[in-house]
Every structure is written in structure tokens, then in C-alpha cells.
Homo-oligomer: A and B are copies of this chain.
Amino acid sequence: MKKGQVTIRDIALKLNISISTVSRALRDSPEIKLETRKKVLALAEKLNYTPNVVAQSLRVNKTKTLGIVVPELASHFFASNISGIQDTAYKRGYNVMICQSNENFEQEKSDIRTLISSRVDGLLISLSRETSSFEHLQHLIDREIPFVLFDRIVENLPVSTVTVDDSLGAYNVVQHLLQQGCQKIAFISGPKEMYICKKRIDGYQKALEEAELQHPYNNVQFSDLTNEDIRRITHELLDQEERPDAIFALNDPVAVEVLKVLKAKGLSVPEDIALVGFTNMPFSDALEPSLSTVDQPAYEMGRLAANNLLDQLMNPADFQPKNLVLDTELVIRHSSSKNNAMPKG
């Protein structure tokens, strides 16, 4: 944003042509004489001309910018989502502006407001852990501002969503644990309202029901996802009469916290208690024991979300919201392999 910036007017003046001709030449309009175009391009190059995108935006009422709202940046999962979004956006000529809600509902609303007032063309949103009312999203719909929800979504809104099959992912985990001989599998969840919690609980319970255990066991613990709460819950689980022989944690960070408690208590994993996480975060394989988990295609989720949003922006007329659901992959490592057979992870 410097004073000396050269404009199409400068070019026009030096070339003794009109600014509209310059504008057209720069944009490869077909109705410009080749010779003129070349002259313009050459001079633009020489003068180091860069179009003022602010002026362009104002004129065409489009900023070519997407807004992103994620619960937190310092999470490998969301960072990967964002990478996928960014790469896709750049490839299609868009920039991105990123906000983090810090898992805070008010901040989330404020972020959206900020992005709107920056006139982003569309939004990609992953809801905060606190978010349980959705007027702010309805407001976007009313104002016809296109957006896509990913990972932390809410259902039954007429917008596109991108998720993994959380339910199936959880189902697979429980099946695996059952195969390992676990009978009493507890699930440490996050808040009741969170989409991913609901879905993973569904999968967890479905697998347990299908198993038709002699002594049915169904043990879901809701946490607020703070480390203190995780520790508290873990201790409680260990003190319960029917102590679980496996703990399935909502995600890897939770699993790590559980693991610390188990170790501190002198319990061995997986012999005394098996443990599985969700997300396959970096270094989950470097823990001891290495952590079994569910791999999520984070980058791909971002890519799909961005492409969907951009399709919508390019062609608003015949756009239909899509609910994209990606597959996860169970990654079996030592924290849940009771037999001594070396797991593949």
C-alpha cells in the first residue's frame, strides 16, 4: 500500500491510450489489438504494475477472499484442514482470512462478523466446542452469504458439510477392542452437544449392541475436554466397581492425558487397560505404548470444503448443498494390541 504505486492511468498516459483499453489489455479481453496488448503488457511489466485488488473488489463487489473460522489454530488437525483449504483456494485464485474462536461461542460469532465486514465472498466454518445454538448461521443463510461447515458441523441446515464418518470410525474402534478381548470399554466423550461426540457415541453403542455381550457394558463419560476434567474422569473410571478394561478417548489429546494417569497409577497399557484415541496426531506413534487411533483425512477435508464453496461461488444458480462424508482408517498400534503380534502401525 505505497504511495508510488503505478495505476492503469499511468500506463494509459504514457501510452497515449485510454484507461479502459489498458484495463482490457491487462485482462486479456479478446477485443484488443494484439499489438496494443503487447505494448500495455510490456510497460506494465517494466513499471512493475500490480493491480489494486481493493479497487477491483469495490468495483465488482467481490473480494476473491474466503473466510475461515476454526476452534483453534494450534491443532494439527485444523492446521491441516486449513492447508487443504488454502492450497485449493490459491489454485482457484482466492485468498483466505483465518480466525480462531478459541472454542468460544462469542468469539465465533465475532469472528464471523469480522469476516463478513471484510467482505469475504464465502466462509468455511468449524464450530466451537461451546456452540449449541445456531442463529448466527441462520443469519448467514438469511443474508445469502455462502458458507460450508466442516468437521464440527450442525445437521439439518441447508448448507454443505464435510465430515468424516465419525460413527463408523468409532464403531471400528470398539469392534477392534472387542476382538482384543476387551469386555468393558468406556468412552470418554466431550460435551453432549458436539456433533462429533454424538456421532462417535452412536458408533460406540452400535458396536456394543451388536456384540451382544454376556454382561452388557455401556459407559459414556462426558467431559468438558479440559485436562483436569479428563484426569478426574479417568480416576473415577478406575475407581468404579466395574473398572473398564479399555478406554476409548474422544481424540488423541484426551488419550494422552488418560495415558499419563494410567502410567502414574502403575497400570500397564494395553495389558491392564487398552487405550485408543482418534485423529492420529503427529507423534501419537512416538508415545509409549504407541497410540492406536483413527486417522482422519484432514487435508482432504479442507480441500473438499473449499472446492464445494468455490463451486457455489462460481455458479450460485444451480447449486445444491452436499453432505460429504469421508472415510477414516483405524490405525492399530501397541496401546490396544494385547496379543504380542506386532501391529502394523
Q: Does A74 contact B83, Cβ atoms closer than 8 Å?
A: yes
Chain B residues contacting A74 (CB-CB under 8 Å) are 76, 79-80, 83
**A256 contacts which chain B residues (CB < 8 A)?**
283, 286
- Which chain B residues lie closer than 8 Å to A117 at the CB level? 50-51, 53
A288 on interface, CB distance cutoff 8 Å: yes
- Taking the complex as formed, is A9 at the interface, i.e. its CB lies under 8 A from any CB of chain B? no
A50 to B99, CA, bound (A): 19
Is A326's beta carbon under 8 Å from chain B? no
Q: Which residues on the B side are within 8 Å of A73 (C-beta)?
A: 73, 79, 82-83
A120 within 8 A of B: yes
Residue numbers in B under 8 Å from A63 (CB-CB): 1, 54
CA A145 to CA B3, docked complex, whole Å: 10
Residues of B within 8 A of A145 (CB): 1-2
Q: A residues 68-86 with Cβ under 8 Å of B?
A: 73-76, 79-80, 82-83, 86
A143 at the interface (CB under 8 A from B): yes
The 6 closest A-B pairs by CB, nearest first: A288-B288, A74-B79, A73-B79, A54-B57, A50-B117, A54-B58
